[in-house]
Amino acid sequence: MSRAVVTSPFGLLCNKPPWGEMVAVDVKAGKIVWRSTVGTTEDLAPLGMLLRFGAPLVNGLAVTAAGLVFTGAMDPYLCAFDARSGCELWQGRLPVPGVANPMTYVWKGEQYVAIGAGGHSEAGTSIGDSLVAFRLARPGEAPSLRSRTIDRPGGRFFSGSLATALAIVTLAIVALRWRRRRRIRST
């Protein structure tokens, strides 16, 4: 037997987005409380383009007493959501998709969330064998510059584009100066 995810020639899923969604249901009232798209196409789409269509969820989630919901998807991020509103609060970059159930634990008085990042061979994601843990922020602690820029969805594409643009501008400046010096020497 073989299983595979059906994708377009661009590497995107063939069904209508969102492709990954977390839904909170009030069981007593029989109503949906909120819906949140989980995951991005960053590592699947051409050129690493960030499309917030979600990524398939084939794993569980962890809910903390403080009202945080943690989950992974078939993209390389562990996400935290507000349990009351469904708003995304944070994403942490993983080496490969975290297609596993996250867990939390306390060590030396600080809370951590951990997830196995192994990917999913049948879905065509990258494969690895990492266990990644993140320490939850201390009161008043802000995220690092890297986690607010490069490790955000779209951050790698943006930083790579910026580096390429800077390299092109630098080469153009060097070429113009070289050409100007060459003209001055020849006159």
Q: What is the pLDDT of residue 57?
A: 81
Q: Which domain holds residue 172?
A: 154-187
Tokens 């607010």 belong to which residue? 148
| pLDDT tens, residue by residue, 158-186 | 777 788 889 999 999 999 998 888 888 87
How far apart, in whole angstroms, are the C-alpha atoms of residue 131 and residue 134? Answer: 10
Joined together, the tokens standing for residue 152 give 């955000």
State percent of the chain over pLDDT 90.
36
Whole-structure pTM value: 0.75
At 105-156, the pLDDT tens digits run: 999 999 999 999 887 766 667 778 889 999 988 888 887 777 777 777 777 7
Q: Are residues 102 and 125 in the same domain?
A: yes
On whether both 62 and 134 belong to a single domain, the answer is yes
Same domain, 44 and 112: yes
CA distance 88 to 145: 19
